[in-house]
Amino acid sequence: MSDTAADPRLLRAPPKKGFRLSWADERLRSIVWQVLVLGVVIAIIAWLVGNTQHNLEVRRIATGFGFLEREAGLPVAESLIPYSPTDTYARALMVGVLNTLKIAVVGVVLATLFGTLLGIARLSKNWLLSRIAAAYVEVVRDLPLLLQLLFWYAILQGLPGPRQALHPMEGVFLSNRGLKLPWIQWQDAHSFALLGFVAGIVLTVFYARAARARQMADGQPRRVWPAALGLIIGLPLAIWAGLGAPWTGDIPALRGFNFQGGLTITPEYFALLIGLVMYTAAFIAEIVRAGILAVAKGQWEAAEALGLPRGLIMRKIVLPQALRVIVPPMTSQYLNLTKNSSLAVAIGYQDIVSIANTTLNQTGQAIEGIAIIMAVYLTISLSISLFMNWYNARIALVER
């Protein structure tokens, strides 16, 4: 320790500048400008609200959301919940929200899988495979999405009728009425079995983490697949059998001029799903390709020096590192897919935009209808962003 005492003047904090009522004071100027900008924004909003209310009163247009409790009289071709035209507008709009979620959730999953495979194919050492993937990406990205939706819808509408339907395998029919697939007659036991399946996946994840932690502690590898098989498959089957659910499936069959039984995927939903998945997958493929190329080549060389196969290197070493580059732009593509689903109105699929447009045309509540559409898409988009931001923070590198 030095014998020289520190100068007490060096230990003092610098003196704070006093607040002066002078335009030369930077803090006063910043406060004045912020107040002015805020005042202008409030004035514009107040003018818009007042002008809207005046125009509505002049035209004698009712306002408010009371119309939601009135009978809709609106037919909806497909819905995830029971619905009839005698139900309220609120229930009709709920059907539209669920239809939007049905296309968004399934589309995000399929586009991610297809886009990832395309991105890997673009980096393949097989020249033909990489060129086909590159051509697909370039062509699909350069065509307008609406044109692609109309193209797929026209193809599905051009399929033969039910009596001449394509029949690639037992219980599967493809016609201009849509795609018919074998299904089950859903009961409460099936719901409990589905919950058991989800619980099995969660328990498998925790077991895999525990097994990995023990391996890091003692160096002894532990097999996860037997426990995963029992939890993911055995547990739902045990619940299914214990509650007495029927094992017979609902197989579609031609009866007269149409099919009966089974699961129906309508041409509108099918065309929308194919168009959104194929279009979004082209953008996801480039994101995946860029993320893989961002991983240093030394990672590949070190793994190959250990004798690991390329498939294992990709799954265990490269992709986990590439996710830190892939996830942020992938979030934008998920949001784009969800918002692009609003083009469903062009091919007759009744999502929230289609049902809300019909509602505002029948009731005249245009402002409320547009507000409902905005609220639905804002909620879905914020939910996707929050989840992806949480996942991105979870996989981020932690500095030591």
At 7 the pLDDT is 57
Of 68, 2, 27, 39, residue with least CA distance to 365: 68
The CA distances from residue 202 to 129, 135, 194, 320, in Å, are 36, 39, 13, 20
At 31 the pLDDT is 87
CA–chain centroid gap for 339, Å, is 10
- Helix (H) / strand (E) element for 305: namely helix 297-305
The set of residues, in sequence order, having a beta carbon less than 8 Å from that of 16 and lying 6+ positions away, is none
At 53 the pLDDT is 78
At 14 the pLDDT is 59
pLDDT in tens, the chain (400 residues): 455 555 555 556 555 666 666 777 778 888 888 999 999 999 999 998 888 778 777 777 667 788 888 888 888 888 888 888 889 999 999 999 999 999 999 999 999 999 999 999 998 888 999 999 999 999 999 999 999 999 999 998 888 888 888 888 777 888 888 888 887 777 777 778 888 888 888 888 888 888 888 887 877 777 888 888 888 888 888 887 787 766 677 788 777 777 777 788 889 999 999 999 999 999 999 999 999 888 888 888 888 888 888 878 888 888 888 888 899 999 999 999 999 999 998 998 999 999 999 998 888 888 888 989 999 999 999 999 999 998 888 877 654 4
